[in-house]
Copies of this chain bind each other. A is one copy, B any other.
Amino acid sequence: MERTLIADCAERIGETVKISGWVKTRRDHGKIVFIDLRDRTGVLQCVVTPDTENYEELKRIRPQWTVDFQGIIKKRPEKLINQDLKTGSMEMEVKEFKILSEAQELPIDISADELGLHLETLLDFRNLTIRNEKVGAIFKIYAEVLRSYAEYLRSQGFVEIKTPKLLSASTEGGAEFFKVKYFEREAFLAQSPQFYKQAAVGSFERVFEIGPVFRAEPHFTSRHINEFIGLDAEMGFIHDSNDVMDMLEESMKHILTDVKKNCQDSLKLYNSDVEIPEKFPRIRFSEALDILRKEFGKEIEGNDINPEGERLICQWAKKKHGSDLIFLTNYPWTIRPMYIMPDPENPRETMGFDLLYKGVEISSGGQRIHQYEQLVENMKKKNLNPEDFSSYLEIFRYGMPPHGGWGLGSERIIQKILGLKSIKEAILFPRDVRRLTP
């Protein structure tokens, strides 16, 4: 008999079907055994009675065993309907079964609605904890973010590219690169596809990439991670950084709209209501400092806005503009990389921006310098040696249009949509300073 998915059982009332999945829970009521069976589409209550073939063998069944159940799909009596379950109005009367694989005693219980585990335990037993519906839901939404991002950019004429993650030099400078032994040489893991996506603009004008990004910074925060999936994009023939922000804003709206529409069940598990602002406010970095000073009495030390400042600015944006998202524009020249276009009207500022979402920076971007001479000059001003960037500079010898783009952290979007405490919860098998397993 062909397998029927649990979600499709509602259309098979009164029929004998075969379902397959994992035993989520078993409850014994005298001689009757109730088994909640989980497959990728849902959970169904299955009733085993002494009439079931090989009843005694079936009684051995424990959580996480995988089985085929064959039986009749029945409507439950009105008063026994489980309103919390999509399939709560029916059950299977099991006639036959087949054990596909057994499971040892579980080290943790994964059947609860809320696992309530310490982060490290949640990650140590990742093979098991991702089987929990609420944990699994994170990755269904994640897959939707990936799909939606690519779909939107394709609709805008962007070509999907894949660029190398092994580099010959620590291109963007800094000590944040992982070193690789590459045959008899040294190589570095890409910290971003920045230089390659810019080169690709020379051919395709508009490109995007979904790929891993490696950061060797020894962070121990709830929003940093050493390997994550970047959602990058770069576009040519722009007027200025507003074109880039427009495109990023529309991409984010598209993602949030799709998640809201297509992931209702998953969102419900987190009581998450995705709000999509009509327009993301855009304020200058210097204005943000003023707001922090005037509205919150916070004086920012150093050059950049700290995490607390980002939280407060988002609080302000929500209150003032009803928006969970806000662009900070015109970042100071001192804290932006050498390839970001200085503001022609004020060289102490740049055409670089950040996008904040619910208190956290989720994207950094801006207009790039597209003229060779200006780029060399900007490198020198930043005390960088243009010779160290000769391969990158080649791109600008042969006609690059005004262009810009962004890097967007996929996991932070999920973290913020669902209100996850740590970004690590939004990654199947996260890597941090201490963790390289499982």
Contact = CB atoms under 8 A, between A and B. Distances in A.
Interface of A: 3, 20-23, 39-41, 64-66, 100-104, 106, 126-128, 130-131, 135-136, 139-140, 142-143, 146-147, 150, 154, 157, 159-168, 178-183, 185, 187, 189, 196, 199-200, 202-206, 210-212, 214, 216, 218, 226-227, 229, 237, 370-371, 391, 394-395, 397-402, 410, 427-431, 433, 436-438
A218 B429 contact: no
A391 B436 contact: no
Given A127-B199, A229-B162, A391 B178 contact: no
A200 B428 contact: yes
B438 A199 contact: yes
A140 B154 CA distance: 11
B178 A180 contact: yes
Contact of A237 (B20, B212, B394): B20
A20 B21 CA distance: 56
B398 A106 contact: yes
A398 B64 contact: yes
B227 A164 contact: yes
A426 to B, nearest CB: 11
A436 B187 contact: yes
A183 B40 contact: no
A206 to B, nearest CB: 7
Contacts of A214: 165-166
Contacts of A3: 237
A139 B136 CA distance: 34
Given A100-B401, A199-B126, A428-B200, A40 B205 contact: yes
Contacts of A128: 202, 398
B203 A136 contact: yes
Given A147-B154, A163-B429, A218-B183, A127 B398 contact: yes
